[in-house]
Amino acid sequence: MRDDLIDQVTDLVREVARTIVLPRWRHLGTSEVREKSPGDLVTIADQESERALTAGLTALLPGSTVVGEEAVAADPAVLDRVGDGGAVWIVDPVDGTNNFAAGKSPFAVMVALLRDGEPAAGWILDVAGDRMTVAEAGSGAYLDGVRLKTRGDDPGAGALTGSISRNYFPDELRTGIDENASRLGRVTGGHHCAGYEYPSVATDEQQFAVFWRILPWDHTPGALILREAGGAVLHLDGSAYLPTDSQRGLLIAANHDIWHTVRGTLLP
């Protein structure tokens, strides 16, 4: 990767968050928020952030293309570009939009770069917390410049803390998971922001997270960051996560031993 690209994208993400996203937080008018689908909000900050990121990223890497959440909402065919060759940017202009629209945190700005379909770099900015997590494939993951390394032990199911984002699970699967979740130490409903969950696992604030709906802008940046820090990002059947996946169900964990403990506890 070009030596200065990591820093340039980091600066771009911070600038967009500072000038577009943060000024709208707790200052949205009623006409600046709408539903894309039931329970799924979009705000003027999402739209303006994605436009600015798209312009900035393609200027930094001429010939690259962008797959952004709002562009896909407007034209679902844009999603097909994730599998294209060459350089493709994946953009989530405001992750955790429902939190953002409610004046709550966390929410994040997330970007990933794919090279011929493979994640090459990822960026997550926790906007309200002002924490930047960055990873480059093969070069590690860093939180505000400090290298991240996930915990290496497995303390056992009863000592694990994590989150389960239950919203989209099929009823039968949700029921089984809910019945077994009590065997884990502490389980929350999540922060409604994948851009918060992934760094939280990498820093040992929690040891796992479970998702059902999988969209590339929600998971590609964090998946690379967590893997580069030493964590596990696998589907519930144990197969590796890929940005092009449409398969549902994803379990992320601080390491592979914890992944197997959580998987075996929730879905014995």
Write out the DSSP string of 112-140. EEEETTEEEEEEEEETTTTEEEEEETTTE
Query: What pLDDT is recorded for position 247?
Result: 79
Write out residues in the chain with pLDDT < 70, as ranges.
none
Read off the pLDDT of residues 23-33 as tens digits, 9 standing for 90 and up: 999 999 999 99
Residues of the chain with CATH 3.30.540.10: 5-147
Domain 5-147 grouped into CATH 3.30.540.10: yes
Query: What pLDDT is recorded for position 39?
Result: 84
Query: What pLDDT is recorded for position 206?
Result: 98
Q: Is 162 helix (H, G, I), strand (E, B) or coil?
A: strand
Strands (E), the chain: 33-37, 40-43, 65-68, 87-95, 108-115, 118-126, 131-136, 140-143, 146-147, 161-164, 186-188, 208-211, 232-235, 250-253
Residues 6+ apart with CB under 8 A from 245: 214, 235
Closest CA to 110 of 199, 34, 40: 199
Q: Is the pTM of this model over 0.75?
A: yes
Contact between residue 192 and residue 98 where contact means Cβ atoms under 8 Å apart: yes
Alpha helices in 17-144 (DSSP H): 44-60, 69-74, 97-101
Query: What pLDDT is recorded for position 236?
Result: 95
Residue list, annotated binding site for Mg(2+): 69, 92, 95, 218
The amino acid at residue 167 is: N
Residues of the chain with CATH 3.40.190.80: 157-266
Residues 6+ apart with CB under 8 A from 101: 28, 33, 41, 43
Crossing angle (nearest 10°) for helices 5-16 and 44-60: 160
Query: If 0-12 CB within 10 Å is exposed, 13-18 middle and 19+ buried, where does residue 172 land?
Result: exposed
Residue list, annotated binding site: 69, 92, 95, 218
Strands 146-147 and 65-68: unpaired
- Please state which CATH class domain 157-266 belongs to: alpha beta
